[in-house]
Every structure is written in C-alpha cells, then in structure tokens.
Chains A and B, each alone.
Chain A
Amino acid sequence: MSEPILQLKDIIVTVNTGNEERQILKQLNLTINRGDFVTVLGTNGAGKTTLFNTIAGNLQPAAGQVLLKERDISRDNEERRAQHLSRVFQDPKMGTAPRMTVAENLLLAQQRGQRRTLKLRKLRQNRAHFHEMAAEIGNGLEDHLDTPTGNLSGGQRQALSLLMATMTTPDILLLDEHTAALDPKTSEQLMHYTQQRITQSNQTCLMITHHLEDALAYGNRLIVIDDGRIEADFNAAEKQKLTREQLYEFFDETLS
C-alpha cells in the first residue's frame, strides 16, 4: 500500500527578482505514496504553487530530482508529464477551452497525453459515456454537453475541469485551491464531488487549500509548507487527532 509514486529529492527552485536570486523551494524533500490524498497548507508565498509547478513541469528546479514511479522525470517538460499527471487550477477559466463545447472539452481530456492524429474525433460515439459521467456531478452539466464552456457558471466549469482531470485516472492529481474562486455553497458541492471522484478510483492526490476545515476534513495526510520546506507532515492517524485550534497555534508559532 505504501508504494512511493512520486518523490521529490532536494528540490531547489530559485527566481531572479531584479539583481538578487531568491530561493522559493529550499532543498525540499517529499515522498507521496500511491493512494495518498494529501492536503497542503501554507501561507501565501510559502511555495505551495511553486511545488505544484515543479511537479507538473512548468518550472525546472535549479537542483534536485523529481521521480515518478522511480523514473526520473526532471527533464521532461509539462506536455510529456501530462500523460501521468493532471491538474485543476484555481481560476475556472484556466481548466477548459471556453469556445469549445463541454463534450469537445471532455473529448480532448480523454486523449490526455496521447498522440493526436488525423483520425476523425469520435464525438458521437462518446456522447452517451460523457452524458453519464457528467450526470454524476449532479449540477446539471449533462444537459449542457453542446454548450461552449465559456457560457457555464464557475462552479460547473470547475466541476468539468475536475472531471477532465480525473477521467483518465492519472498517477497524480494536483488540485491548486480549485474551490477558492467559488461561493461557499458551490465550493462545498465541488469538494463533495472531489471526494467522490478520488475515493472511487483511489486517486493519488495533492490538494492545496486555505480552508483549515477542508484540510482537516478531507484526505488521509496533511503537510504544511513554510518558507520553501515541508514544515510538518501528519499521517492519517496524527491527522485524525489534529484539531483546528492546534493548526492555528501551529501557524501562529511557525509563521509569525
């Protein structure tokens, strides 16, 4: 069960701000096991999104290694990693193609990481399947298969992004505050659907969140990132005993 699926070894990421070089990730080490659902906490600027960018391949670390299923993928670019790895962004606009319909977007996602050829797309053959998957979300998306995603609500778009990210069961799912731009009720519904998708396929997942409640309620592991390092790492048993107050205290002590 505790087979490591993703390993980060001594990752250093630097940025140039004007003439000085600043380290965002400082020799960060992290191992994610298959089936982990990790919630990631940290203040703004702690390096959470940088961590995700490093895993996804948008950023090349200055030093260190990224291993996926024991294979070094440090040199692979984002497009190559997409085969094994998917991501939902905070901004609902970023996860879908606005002028393409819901079904067209799903079709694109179904071919994640595959070679795209001059064969005709198979929209009609996949329709029933898409309808069924969209209906599981429970927000009426299945009635909008032919609607351009730009005309959907933010909540529908994020749910679609999540479906698109998980429909091929990638090795790792990265959720970057994917509910933050939504109103509380829609956000709760999406978290519920997220939980359902992840448990259904035992999806390995890292989720950045600013909601302490969500960080405690969801997942089976919790990590706190501060100043470019993993500051704390609670396993399932420790996480269960953890309270909101303890987390608050923790933040007050280490982050002030």
Chain B
Amino acid sequence: MSLITSAIGQGLMWGILGVGLFLTFRVLNFPDMTVEGTFPFGAAVAVTAITHGMSPLLATLLAFVAGMLAGLATGLLYTKGKIPILLAGILVMTALYSINLRVMGKANVSLLNENTLFKAKFLTQLPQYFDGVVVGFLFVVVTLVLLGYFLQTELGQAFIATGDNVTMARSLGIKTDGMTIMGLMVSNGFIGISGALMAQSNGYADVSMGIGVIVIGLASIIIGEVAFGELTMNQRLVAVILGSILYRFVLLIVLQLGFNTDDLKLISAIVLALALMLPTLQKKFHVQKLMRNGVTRHE
C-alpha cells in the first residue's frame, strides 16, 4: 500500500515536469532538451536557497524563475540565433551542468536537518508517503488551473496557433518568436518547480539528477495520450498528470518483477520507445484487427 501511495506522490510531482514538457513537445511541436538541465537547475537553486535560510515555498518559486531563465536562453538561441532547437536545448543543458555545480558548490547537497515543504507540521502527522501526495496534488492543481486559464486567453490561443501553424500565425500578426520564447520559459519554469519538489522529497539535490528526465516527461505525455485518447486541450493536461502516475505504476511493477533500480533508465527508454512505436506497430501487425478477430471468430 505504501508503495502505491509513494508512486502516486511521485507521479504527481513528476507530472508537473510532464505538463511543462507538454507545452513544448505537443503544443509548440518540438522536443526541448533543456529539460535535462532545467530539472537539476530547479533542484540546485531551491536546495541552495533553503540551505541559505530561505523558506521552502519561496525557494520552490525561485526554482520556477530559474527554469524560466534557462528557457529564455534556449528560446533566444533558437529564435534569434537560428540554432536548431535540439542543439539549442543541448547547449543550454550542457551549460547548466556547470552552472548547477557553481550554484551548489559541489555535486551533491543534502537537505538533512533543513526545513523543506515536506516538514510542514500538518504533513508530518500524515501516514507515511502521504506528504508527497498532498504536496504533489496542491502543486498540480495550481499548475493546471494557471495553465488551463492561460491557454484559454487571447495570448494562450496565439501561443497554441504558433505551434500549430507558424506560417498562419505570423500572417495573422502573431509574434511567433515571442510566443516560442514565452512557451519555453513557462515550460522550463514548471520543470524547475518539479526539480525543486523532487529534491525536497528525496532530501538532496544531485548534479546528475537530470539524466533521462526528458524520457520520463515524454513517457507521461505518451502514456496519457494512449490511455485516454482524443481530448480537449485542458483535459490533455490532466491526462499528462494521470499518465505520469501510470508510468510510476509501470516502474513499480517492473521493480516488483525483480529488476534492479540500476536497470530503470533502460526500462524507461524501452517503455517510451514501445509507446512511441505503438501507432506503427498497430498498423504493421493489425493489432486492432487481430483483437477484433479474437473477439468475434469463435461465435
């Protein structure tokens, strides 16, 4: 039971990363590699702020600002510097590795004996792992309400249009470069928050904690889409969160099967690859036809 509770809490906190990535990967239609640097950047900034005496909530919000700056850097390289988006993201991600070391002063900073969001009084009275669920849920709700509202505004619609058809958006007078930069900033802001939450949940920030997080984010998005199908924009945001929780369950099952935690990244990659190949596989092996035949043949 406690494993499931823990998975839900983790799923919610990682879900914020998924939602952030959704803004670039699905709305703007490109993969943003910055994520792998932003996630530990958010963690590093929040943890360093906390060890310097800042309140955990403010430190978490500071991680949002830090993430936005990383997104701004990628956005400027991409739109003004005309560097391909994949490369722009990789450049900022690489640069952030050094910046994270500078921010923390060393490769790993512990939060032992420090105040964190999870040490609030009402949380410590809850059963084990419920603190993660409560904190994750609160941040998810705020994230979804803010983003859900934003996407329904004039600006949000212009942002969606930019990702959907950049030629049209520009011909309607939408400043598409500005929209792209804004999207990258907001996206990375939320990813920074996700990093800050995970660091406080784990009790430390590590300079290498960003490795492979893009796969986790993408897996949340894809699993959400595979599981829930055609949805409106706001429903899709919720689907990402649920996808993130489902993904945690998948990992839980894999670990129960006896795999080692060292194998997790390999398994993550395989799960995502399979999910991404699903449409192709369906076509190739006529999965739906096979399933239909399986149901109807022996009447």
Binding site for B on A (CB under 8 A): 56, 78-80, 82-83, 86-87, 89, 93-100, 104, 107-109, 111-114, 116-121, 164
Contact = CB atoms under 8 A, between A and B. Distances in A.
16 contacts: A78-B170, A79-B175, A79-B176, A82-B171, A82-B173, A93-B165, A97-B164, A100-B164, A104-B157, A111-B172, A112-B173, A113-B173, A117-B153, A118-B153, A121-B152, A121-B153
A116 B168 contact: no
Contacts of A93: 165
A83 B169 contact: no
Given A94-B167, A99-B164, A109 B172 contact: yes
B202 to A, nearest CB: 35
B154 A82 contact: no
Nearest to B230: A148
Interface residues of B toward A: which range?
20 to 34
What DSSP secondary structure best describes chain B's contact surface?
Answer: helix
A97 B161 contact: yes
B3 interface: no
Given A112-B172, A118-B150, A118-B155, 11 more contacts: A79-B170, A86-B171, A94-B165, A97-B168, A100-B161, A100-B164, A104-B157, A111-B172, A116-B154, A117-B154, A117-B155
Contact of A97 (B149, B169, B173): B169
A38 B92 CA distance: 50
Contacts of A80: 173
Contact of B172 (A82, A89, A98): A82
Contacts, number: 80
B174 A121 contact: no
A117 B152 CA distance: 11
Given A79-B173, A82-B171, A114-B173, A108 B161 contact: yes
9 closest A-B pairs by beta carbon, nearest first, are A82-B173, A97-B164, A113-B173, A116-B154, A97-B165, A116-B158, A116-B155, A97-B161, A118-B153
Q: Which one of A112, A113, A116 has the greatest number of beta carbons of chain B within 10 Å?
A: A116
A78 B171 CA distance: 7
B160 interface: yes
Nearest to B175: A79
Contacts of B158: 108, 116
B165 A83 contact: no
B104 to A, nearest CB: 35
A111 B155 CA distance: 11
Contact of B153 (A79, A95, A112, A120): A120
Interface in B77-117: none
A114 B173 CA distance: 7
